[in-house]
Chain A
Amino acid sequence: MGRTHVDAVIVGAGWAGSIMAKELTEAGLSVIMLERGPERMTPVEGAYPESIDELRGAVRKRLFQNLSQSTVTIRNTMDQTALPYRQLAAFLPGEGVGGAGLHWSGVHFRVAPEDLRLRSSVIERYGEKFIPEGMNLQDYGVTYAELEPFFDKAEKVFGTSGEAYKVQGKIVGNGNVFSPDRSDNFPLQAMKDTFSASIFRDAAKNAGYHPYALPAANASRQYTNIYGCQMGPCNFCGYCSGYDCYLYSKASPNVNILPALRQDPGFTLIPNAHVLRVDLDSTKTKATGVTYLDTETREETSLSADLVILGAFQFNNVHLMLVSGIGKPYDPVSNTGTVGRNFVYQTITSSRVWLPSSTYTNQFVGAGGAGVAIDDFNSMNFDHGPLGFVGGSPVWVNQAGVKPIAAAIGAGGGGTPRWGSAYKNALINTYKHSLGIDAHGSNMAYRDVYLDLDPTWKDVYGQPLLRMTFTWKDNDIRMNQYVVSRIEPIARAMGATKMNLVHLNAGQPFDTRNYQTTHLGGGAIMGDNPQTSALNRYLQSWDVSNVFVIGSNAFPQGMGYNPTGMVAALAYWAAHHIRTTYLKSPGPLVKA
């Protein structure tokens, strides 16, 4: 029996995969999207009240990746043995239709334009010597002006709530003064400030900073997007990060794209289909399709396709490239190869501020994307010269809904009791009267921080696990410490009776046991040089031109902003160039 042939096969049904599937079916292609996890539909598993269950949700991790099938190994330094990431903690990858886009929070940023050309920008301002030894600082090879229409489109698909600062060169509102010009306003007005966010806004403004409402893919009003998909207004239910939204208020592929896509006869979605590899021809320069395993029947199937899109999430995309032989694996010793290079993450530390016992922060009230932030210490918005580090962090109060089990497990420690009556008393006080302030910062790339295949451990399909070599480096630790030190006067002005400012410590290794974010990046980055990037500026593999790799894997650096807005814009950008140029004459969009 001959292999089934389609025009395009897409691996992964998250934001990246769903956007590409929509764009390519619109272009008239036949598309199969393969998702290793189960089908997921909001009216089924998202329904009230069963979905309002912290134990089954964020604690037992109902919607996240099941590590028993496949995981990664992690070590801090190249001389260590990497060990399996056996229990979900530091990051929470998605699985199932919608990917992590079903249970993300919804903070929906664009990009700080200078982050796209960070290497050039740093050199222009401070000279090349400012870049520390061993830091692989790189430009994306694409500009904000080029991406702007695609940021705009993504916001109109996600139904993003926000307050603009500048539209078509005119100052229109109270938005982020550091944000770049926009072609249009946000589709929906900003989410309301929670009480915690509102006092942060006032205190930050009084301290001379520039607070703004976080752009949120949580709908502040009802909304029908450009695909005819509908959202209802968010009620700050507080079961947001780690949950699907029972009100259809949080943007997800499931709510904002798939309802339209599923009706297209050219589109087929196959869940429970774990892609084992991209199949290449003998020259290793052309993909012939993919091979996947039906996780229910354990049957292997090969599909033939003209175009292969990887949208399996950052590190899964790198893993698929490595096991399939797409591109040259990165070797940190010789500093050659590109697949696995510039693996990056994000620095985040959460500080806590206690208010008087007459003031209730009602931390269970919240929406994943709502809050107030300042960008005064993000990107290139401040003078790094005297500080001597590259990068920065937005600082924000993003009260996404704190639930009791998470609050209780996290309470105590650092010299205060973690159990007993004194603990219980402190927990109650903290839950009722405190709030969190985060420094959510960049993470630079380093020569000895990378991804490759593990020599020892395997997944249930018999393939080697991906190995992460990752730790915090001095530049990023000092950046975090500096930004956190800026929080103190704000917290005082908020009326803090007590505060616990949390920052990274010198020499502190990355700890896989504590949640950071799921904002992993790099490993198959975009750029203008095939020696230092796995993908060209259209996210096309330099080596196998009918493979496009969509995701935060393309980021050369981890940025201060949350990644998904950028991932969505890059997906629309790549899709646009596939539709307008590639399909007319398949081949490399950039000459190597």
Chain B
Amino acid sequence: MEPTLNRPLRRSFVKGLLGTTSFWMASGNASWTAALAAEAAHPYQPIFFDAMEYRFVEAASERLFPADNNGPGAKALGVAEFIDRQMQTPYARGENWYMSGPFQQGPANLGYQLPFVPRDLYRKGIAGVEHYTRQHYGKGFADLPPAQQDEILTALEGGSVQLGEVPGRVFFEQLRTNTLEGAFADPLYGGNRGLGGWIMLGFPGARADFMDWVNQEGAPYPLAPVSISGETA
């Protein structure tokens, strides 16, 4: 595998070859540079979230994906860092969603129809949950015991809570999806620290060569995972 340092160089070569306005190439580029930069700095300083929001994301994602006998939870895996870094990508700005109006609501099965991109959903959603928990529990979400945090998450998932302009369920699904992404994406993006997510699942990561394991009569795959940068466990 090529050493990490070569990558940005190769990226700019790619850019030259294909022209600079390809949306996809640009997005790959941005997240790659961000990844390299963030790896160097520790502990992670959130860029998108403020301190309160970041505590919320850490606490809530840990309840969704908790540390337990099976292995690390969201906190140890760096999920909050992952989400904060994702908030600086085109995805979080909704740049690959159709975001032209009018925005008209309809039956759930016709899909997402809100005028909010992921960055808005977090801003509004977290403020809404904090407001809700203070009203009902007298404290911020991160300061509540796990049982009460679970109660709140259950209420959001069940759809009984409206967070201002954002339905609680929509915010819950956004947070759940990004939490699981952070647990299992390549560590390049700040989550899945130490390949902890992949180890739990027995997923070999970027090996991508199973010629010898197409059919081994149900035996487990023997090698530990490797990441894109060559990190192994």
Contact = CB atoms under 8 A, between A and B. Distances in A.
Contacts of B9: none
B70 A428 contact: yes
A84 B204 contact: no
Interface stretch (A67-75, A257-265, A329-337): A67-75
Interface string A190-212: 00111100100000000000000
A457 B100 contact: yes
Given A55-B186, A80-B106, A361-B218, A296 B181 contact: no
A134 interface: no
Interface stretch (A148-156, A161-169, A280-288, A508-516): A508-516
A154 B90 CA distance: 38
Interface centre among B63, B150, B177, B180 (most CB of A within 10 A): B180
Given A83-B110, A194-B215, A195-B218, A49 B184 contact: no
Contacts of B218: 195, 355, 358-361
B22 A364 contact: no
Contacts of B96: 60-61, 66-68, 88
Contacts of A295: 21
A56 interface: yes
Interface centre among B100, B219, B221 (most CB of A within 10 A): B100
Interface stretch (A104-112, A175-183, A403-411): A403-411
B203 A86 contact: no
Given A66-B23, A68-B95, A86-B112, A56 B211 contact: no
A455 B104 CA distance: 14
B93 to A, nearest CB: 10
A431 B208 contact: no
A512 B111 CA distance: 6
A408 B180 contact: yes
A365 B1 contact: no
A235 interface: yes
B31 interface: yes
Interface string B167-184: 000000000110011011
A48 B208 contact: yes
Given A55-B185, A86-B97, A195-B217, A431 B210 contact: no
A237 B110 contact: no
B113 A509 contact: no
Interface in B62-87: 63-66, 68, 70
Specify the main secondary structure of chain B where it touches its partner. loop
Interface residues of A, number: 83
Contact of A513 (B22, B27, B111): B111
B208 A86 contact: no
A238 interface: yes
B148 to A, nearest CB: 14
Interface stretch (A1-9, A416-424, A442-450): A416-424
A189 B24 CA distance: 36
B19 interface: yes
A405 B181 contact: yes
Contact of B214 (A59, A81, A192, A358): A192
A174 interface: no
Contacts of A235: 208-211
A87 B228 contact: no
B144 interface: no
Interface string A87-121: 11100000010000000000000000000000000
A419 B181 contact: no
B189 A360 contact: no
B185 A52 contact: no
A419 to B, nearest CB: 4
Contact of A296 (B19, B63, B176): B19
B221 A362 contact: yes
A192 B63 contact: no
A74 B109 CA distance: 10
Nearest to B67: A421
A218 B200 CA distance: 30
A53 B214 contact: no
A54 interface: yes
Nearest to B91: A60
Interface in B1-44: 1, 14, 17-19, 21-25, 27-28, 31
Interface centre among B97, B183, B186, B214 (most CB of A within 10 A): B214
Nearest to B21: A296
Contacts of A457: 100, 102
A576 interface: no
A232 B194 CA distance: 33
Given A85-B111, A235-B210, A53 B228 contact: yes
Contacts of A75: 110
Interface string A39-54: 1000011001110111
A88 B98 CA distance: 9
Given A89-B111, A360-B218, A431-B202, A84 B213 contact: no
Interface of A: 38-39, 44-45, 48-50, 52-56, 59-63, 66-68, 70-71, 74-76, 80-89, 96, 192-195, 198, 235-239, 246, 272, 295-296, 355, 358-362, 364-365, 403-405, 407-409, 418-421, 424-425, 427-428, 431-432, 456-458, 460, 509-513
Given A236-B214, A362-B210, 20 more contacts: A39-B19, A44-B18, A45-B25, A49-B206, A50-B28, A53-B228, A59-B185, A74-B111, A83-B111, A192-B214, A237-B208, A238-B208, A272-B19, A360-B219, A404-B184, A405-B184, A408-B184, A427-B201, A431-B201, A456-B102
12 contacts: A39-B19, A50-B28, A52-B228, A60-B96, A68-B96, A81-B106, A83-B106, A192-B214, A193-B215, A365-B213, A409-B176, A420-B150
The 6 A-B pairs at the shortest CB distance, nearest first, are namely A404-B184, A237-B208, A359-B218, A55-B185, A408-B180, A511-B109
